[in-house]
């Protein structure tokens, strides 16, 4: 069975219908630029030897991450992964705190206690990834179950990769969500590679979103380089979940434009594939859309890009002033104490 394939948004009228005004449109662009800027500067910090461990980016996934996060409500929760920097940026994590995180400093969201993208700010409705494959998917389903039990009109958003889709916890999470019609939206960042494994060795169906039907909910495939199309599908799915309509699986198609991490030059990805997807660069694509459909002027664009550049320069400076954590605090904040938990059986 073929799932629905999302339509692109072609006019300002459709954008308004989807709930965005012109300021929102420029905010989306700014968030995408900040996302890419953070990761580009991260590469430089890595080469300068300032980032411990490896370094991961989501180049090519900016539209997908920002589009979904823009559709989330302020009280919704999400579990973004190593390709989803745009989610942190859109939810309001300040760039200097992200650079501090990269460099293991105390002002990073994990206070210098975990590796670079294993981070999240729970004050902004985000839960840090434990691991990728896909450890966070059952956690998000658990959030959705809690929202249901507490009668809260909130939605959980769970991200996972197409490689992670082959593992058992994806099935367990989606099955429970389908059976209980929980308020959760699954977002598969299908970037066509799971480390060096191509999709044809990862799954035997045409679209991963085809699987949704087997769990009793809707699946949709969206072009992950089209930020407005991603936004519209995510908004539909999130509001449907909030209204009691159950889960949706959104498969967002992109290409991972860099290696799995900085140590991997992606020699196994055909060059033509990179060239093909570079022509669909999500930021360039959206920039063209804004100029053609929302009258983004040269001055407006210069002001925006100049502002982002300054924001990132200041952010790096501020992050470098942040100290490394005091070794004596190593075990602080790592485990919750029973008193901090609101689950009755822990009392
Ligand atoms: C159980 C387990 N096996 C292997 C890894 C190492 N690992 C982390 S991400 C990844 C690739 C995942 O591919 P995919 O789900 O497509 O996500 P992508 O990295 O492409 O975004 C691998 C092999 C892991 N974290 N956990
Ligand atoms: Mg992948």
Q: Is residue 3 part of a domain?
A: no
Closest residue by CA, ligand 1 atom 19: 194
With 70 as the cut, is the pLDDT of residue 189 above it? yes
Q: Is residue 342 part of a domain?
A: no
- Is 304 in a helix, a strand, or coil? helix
Q: Is residue 210 part of a domain?
A: yes
- Is 79 in a helix, a strand, or coil? strand
Question: Who has greater pLDDT, 346 or 239?
Answer: 239
With 90 as the cut, is the pLDDT of residue 343 above it? no
The kind and range of the H/E element at 326 are none
Question: Who has greater pLDDT, 344 or 244?
Answer: 244
Q: What is the DSSP letter of 126?
A: B
Percent with pLDDT over 70 in the chain: 98
Q: Is residue 327 part of a domain?
A: no
Determine the pLDDT at residue 22: 95
Determine the pLDDT at residue 335: 80
What rounded mean pLDDT belongs to the chain?
95
* Mutate which of 59, 60, 132 for ligand 1 pocket (most atoms within 8 A of beta carbon): 132
For the Cβ of 193 lying below 6 angstroms from any atom of ligand 1, the answer is yes
Question: Who has greater pLDDT, 59 or 8?
Answer: 59
For the Cβ of 133 lying below 6 angstroms from any atom of ligand 1, the answer is yes
* Ligand 2 center from residue 269 Cα (angstroms): 12
Residue 20 sits in a domain whose CATH number is 3.40.50.970
Distance CA 77, CA 81 (A): 13
For the Cβ of 170 lying below 6 angstroms from any atom of ligand 1, the answer is no
Determine the pLDDT at residue 346: 54
pLDDT in tens, 218-275: 999 999 999 999 999 999 999 999 999 999 999 999 999 999 999 999 999 999 999 9
C-alpha dist (Å) from residue 26 to 29, 39, 61, 168, 176: 5, 20, 18, 40, 38
State the CB neighbour count (10 A cutoff) for residue 334: 10
Average pLDDT over residues 54-63: 97
pLDDT in tens, 115-157: 889 999 999 999 999 887 899 999 999 999 999 999 999 999 9
* Ligand 1 center from residue 207 Cα (angstroms): 19
Average pLDDT over residues 85-101: 98
Determine the pLDDT at residue 344: 62
Q: Is residue 297 part of a domain?
A: yes
Q: How far apart are the first and last CA of the chain?
A: 49
- Is 309 in a helix, a strand, or coil? helix
Q: Which domain holds residue 285?
A: 10-322
Q: Is residue 249 part of a domain?
A: yes
* Ligand 2 center from residue 237 Cα (angstroms): 22
Residue 347: band (very low, low, confident or very high) from pLDDT cuts 50, 70, 90: low
Distance CA 220, CA 181 (A): 17
Average pLDDT over residues 171-196: 98
Determine the pLDDT at residue 10: 84
pTM for the whole structure:
0.96
Q: In this structure, are residues 287 and 68 in contact, taking their beta carbons and an 8 Å threshold?
A: no
Quote the number of domains for the chain: 1
Strands (E), the chain: 4-5, 77-79, 156-161, 184-190, 193-194, 197-198, 218-223, 248-253
C-alpha dist (Å) from residue 130 to 137, 146, 195, 236, 286: 11, 20, 18, 28, 32
Token pair listed for 22: 């012109």
Q: Is residue 15 part of a domain?
A: yes
Q: Is residue 91 part of a domain?
A: yes
- Is 77 in a helix, a strand, or coil? strand
Distance CA 229, CA 221 (A): 10
* Ligand 2 center from residue 194 Cα (angstroms): 4
Question: Who has greater pLDDT, 299 or 133?
Answer: 299
State the CB neighbour count (10 A cutoff) for residue 60: 26
Distance, CA of 227 to chain centre: 12
């Amino acid at each position: 069975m073929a799932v629905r394939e999302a339509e692109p948004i072609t006019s300002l009228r459709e954008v308004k219908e989807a709930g965005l005004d012109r300021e929102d449109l420029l905010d989306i662009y700014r968030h995408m630029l900040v996302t890419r800027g953070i990761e580009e500067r991260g590469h430089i910090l890595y080469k300068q030897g300032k980032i411990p461990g490896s370094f991961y980016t989501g180049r090519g996934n900016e539209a997908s991450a920002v589009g979904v996060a823009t559709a989330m409500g302020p009280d919704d929760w999400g579990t973004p992964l190593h390709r989803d920097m745009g989610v942190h940026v859109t939810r309001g994590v300040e760039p200097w705190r992200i650079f501090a995180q990269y460099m293991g400093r105390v002002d990073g969201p994990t206070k210098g206690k975990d590796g670079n993208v294993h981070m999240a700010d729970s004050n902004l409705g985000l839960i840090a990834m434990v691991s990728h494959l896909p450890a966070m998917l059952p956690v998000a389903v658990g959030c959705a179950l809690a929202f249901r039990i507490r009668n809260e009109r909130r939605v959980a958003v769970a991200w996972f990769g197409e490689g992670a889709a082959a593992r058992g916890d994806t099935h367990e999470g989606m099955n429970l969500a389908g059976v209980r019609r929980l308020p959760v939206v699954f977002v598969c960042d299908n970037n066509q590679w799971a480390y060096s494994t191509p999709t044809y060795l990862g799954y035997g169906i045409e679209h991963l979103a085809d699987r949704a039907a087997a769990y009793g909910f809707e699946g949709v495939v969206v072009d992950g380089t089209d930020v407005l199309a991603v936004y519209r599908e995510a908004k539909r799915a999130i509001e449907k979940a909030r209204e009691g309509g159950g889960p949706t699986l959104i498969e967002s198609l992109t290409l991972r434009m860099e290696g799995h991490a900085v140590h991997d030059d992606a020699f196994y990805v055909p060059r033509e594939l990179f060239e093909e997807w570079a022509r669909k660069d999500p930021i360039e694509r959206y920039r063209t859309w804004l100029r053609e459909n929302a009258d983004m002027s040269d001055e407006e664009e210069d002001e925006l890009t100049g502002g982002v550049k300054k924001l990132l320069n200041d952010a790096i400076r501020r992050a470098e002033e942040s100290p490394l954590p005091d070794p004596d605090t190593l075990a602080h904040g790592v485990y919750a104490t029973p008193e901090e938990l609101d689950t009755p059986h822990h009392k």
